[in-house]
Amino acid sequence: MKLSARNQLPGKVKHIDTGMVTAEVVIALDGGGEITSVITKKAVENLGLTVGKKVYAVVKSTEVMVAVD
Amino acid sequence: MKLSARNQLPGKVKHIDTGMVTAEVVIALDGGGEITSVITKKAVENLGLTVGKKVYAVVKSTEVMVAVD
Amino acid sequence: MKLSARNQLPGKVKHIDTGMVTAEVVIALDGGGEITSVITKKAVENLGLTVGKKVYAVVKSTEVMVAVD
Amino acid sequence: MKLSARNQLPGKVKHIDTGMVTAEVVIALDGGGEITSVITKKAVENLGLTVGKKVYAVVKSTEVMVAVD
Amino acid sequence: MKLSARNQLPGKVKHIDTGMVTAEVVIALDGGGEITSVITKKAVENLGLTVGKKVYAVVKSTEVMVAVD
Amino acid sequence: MKLSARNQLPGKVKHIDTGMVTAEVVIALDGGGEITSVITKKAVENLGLTVGKKVYAVVKSTEVMVAVD
C-alpha cells in the first residue's frame, strides 16, 4: 500500500505505554531523535508492535507545524 | 513559549511553495531525511520563513501514525 | 506497508480539483456515498491519482468525530 | 447546526470501549464496512451514545489520506 | 445535529480569503480575540459564509495543544 | 519559540482529568467560555500544568471547522 502522507520516517520502537483505549509509542528515529505517537491499543496489537521492531512514523503534511526560536 | 506537542524535530527550510491560502514547506531534518509541512501563507510570512532558516517541525503525538513493512 | 490508521475505506476516485499547493480528491466509496480528501498536489502526482482509479480513503481514528441528529 | 466538515457518513454504533479519558466508538456504516472513532468519554456521555444508536461519522477533509495498492 | 467535538466557540466571520481549493476564514470570537480556520472553498459555499455571518469555530479536543510562557 | 499555529487563545487551567496515557485539560478562556484539550499525561507533567496556571490553547488553522445554526 502506497500512502499520500508524505512524511514516513524510519525508526525502531523504543517504548510502549498501554492504556485502556490508547497507547503511547515512542520511536527512536534512524536519523537520531525520537518521535512520540498516540494510537489505539488495538492498532498496537494489529501491527504486533514490540520494543525494537522496525517501524515508520507517518504524518500527514497538514498536521506538521513549523516553529522558529 | 513551551508547547505540549512532544515532537519538535530540528532542521532547516529546504523549499517553500506558496499557494493562494496555503504553503508547502519542506524541512531538511538535522538527523537526515525531510519532513513536509502545509501551513497558511500568512504563517510563512509571520515566521519570516526563507530557505536555509533554522526551524523545528512540530507535530502533536495524536497526529503520528505507525506503519510496518 | 501496514498502517496503524484503522479506517481504510475502499472506493474509486470520482473527481480531482487541483490548486497550487493542495488538491481536493472526491472518492466514491464502494459501499455508497462519497468522501472528500484534501492532500498536497504532489501527493496526487506521487500516487498517480486519476479519475476511476481504485483507492482507499484512510483516516486515523482520533480524527473521526461522532454526530447525532 | 450545519458543519463545514464535508464527510458525514451515516451508520449505527456497533461497540463502545470506554477508558478513563477517551473512548473508542466503532460505527457500522449503512453502506457497509466500519469506521472507528476515538473521542472523549464525556462526549460519549453528552451524546448519549449506546450500541445501536443512529449516528454519523464526521471527518474534516484535511484529515483524509488516500492510499493505493 | 449534535456533535462530539466539545469546542464550539461562537463568533462572526471577519474575513474570508479564497484560494483554488481551500479558503481561510477568520472568525472574531464573541468573547474577544480571533480564530483562523482553513476549510475547503466548497465548504465556504455550502455554508453560505459571508463577512458578518454568525458562526461557531468547532475544534475536536484531540486537536488542541496547551502552551505555557 | 514562535509557532506557525495561528490560534493561541489565553486562559487558565480549570480542570485536569488524568488517564493512563492521555489527559483532558479544560481551559477557562480569558475572553469567556471554555476549551477542552486532550494531550498526553507526560505533556501535562512536562509543562507542570496545575489548576489555575496561565496557559494558551493552541490550534493549527487546518484543525478548525466552521458551523452555522
Question: Which residues are registered as beta bridge partners of C66?
Answer: D57
Chain A residues touching residue C44 (CB < 8 angstroms): 4
Exposure string over A19-47, b if 16+ CB within 10 A, otherwise e = bbbbbbbbbbbeeebebbbbbbbbbbeeb
d(CA F68, CA F45): 37
What local confidence, expressed as pLDDT, does residue E37 receive?
A: 98
Cβ <8 Å between D6 and E58: no
The pLDDT confidence band at residue E15, using thresholds 50, 70 and 90, is very high
Contact indicator for E13, E36 with CB cutoff of 8 Å: no
Question: Position D36: which residue type?
Answer: T
Mark F21-55 as b/e (b = at least 16 C-beta within 10 Å). bbbbbbbbbeeebebbbbbbbbbbeebebeeebeb
Q: Which CATH number is associated with domain E7-61? A: 2.40.50.100
Say whether residue E51 is in contact with chain F using an 8 A CB cutoff. no
Chain D CA closest to residue F36: D40
Of the candidates A3, F63, E40, the residue with the CA atom closest to the CA atom of residue B69: A3
Q: Which fold has domain C7-60?
A: OB fold (Dihydrolipoamide Acetyltransferase, E2P) (2.40.50)
Taking only the tens place, the pLDDT of each residue in F13-22 is 999 999 999 9
Task: Burial-class residue A50 by CB neighbours within 10 Å (0-12, 13-18, 19+).
Answer: exposed
One-letter amino acid identity for B43?
A
Q: Is C46 exposed, middle or buried (0-12, 13-18, 19+ CB in 10 A)?
A: middle
Nearest-by-CA chain D residue for C56: D67
pLDDT band at C1 (very low <50, low <70, confident <90, very high): confident
Query: Where do the domains of chain B lie?
Result: 7-59
Q: Nearest by CB to D68, which of A2, A22, A62?
A: A2
Cβ contact C13:C68 at 8 Å = no
| pLDDT tens per residue, range A23-42 | 999 999 999 999 999 999 99
Q: Check residue C23 and give its pLDDT.
A: 98
**Per-residue model confidence (pLDDT) at position F1:** 87
Quick: pLDDT tens for E26-63.
999 999 999 999 999 999 999 999 999 999 999 999 99
φ, ψ for residue F51 (rounded to 5)?
-60, 130
User: Sign (positive/negative) of CA torsion F57, B50, A62, B10?
Assistant: negative
Q: Is D69 helix (H, G, I), strand (E, B) or coil?
A: coil
Residue F40 cell numbers, joined: 498526553
Asked if F31 and E42 touch (Cβ cutoff 8 Å), the reply is no
What is the distance between the alpha carbons of residues F11 and F31, in angstroms, rounded to a whole number?
A: 8
- Among E3, E44, E46, E61, the strongest candidate for a mutation testing the D interface, having the largest count of D CBs within 10 A, is E3
Query: Residue C37 has what pLDDT?
Result: 98
Q: Smallest CA–CA separation between C58 and chain B, in Å?
A: 11
CATH 2.40.50.100 is held by the domain A1-47: yes
Domain B7-59 carries which CATH code?
2.40.50.100
D49 CB neighbours in chain C (<8 A) are 66, 68
pLDDT computed for residue D63 by the predictor: 98
Q: What is the pLDDT of residues D10-44, one digit of tens each?
A: 999 999 999 999 999 999 999 999 999 999 999 99
Q: Please tell me the distance from the alpha carbon of residue B69 to that of residue F59, in angstroms, as a whole number.
A: 32
Count, residues in chain B:
69
Residues of chain B predicted below pLDDT 70: none
* E46 close to B (CB below 8 A): no
CB-CB under 8 Å, E66 with B4? yes
pLDDT computed for residue E16 by the predictor: 98
Q: What is the pLDDT of residues C33-59, one digit of tens each?
A: 999 999 999 999 999 999 999 999 999
Mean pLDDT of all residues in chain C?
Answer: 97
What does the alpha-carbon distance between residue A29 and residue A33 come to, in Å, rounded to a whole number? 6
Percentage of residues of chain A with pLDDT beyond 70: 100
Q: In CATH, what is the architecture of F7-63?
A: Beta Barrel (2.40)
Please report the residues numbered 2 through 41 in chain C whose beta carbons come closer than 8 angstroms to any beta carbon of chain E: 17-20, 22-24, 36, 38
Q: Residue range A3-28: average pLDDT?
A: 97
Average pLDDT over chain B reads 97
Q: What is the mean pLDDT of chain D?
A: 97
For residue A1, name the pLDDT band (cuts at 50, 70, 90).
confident
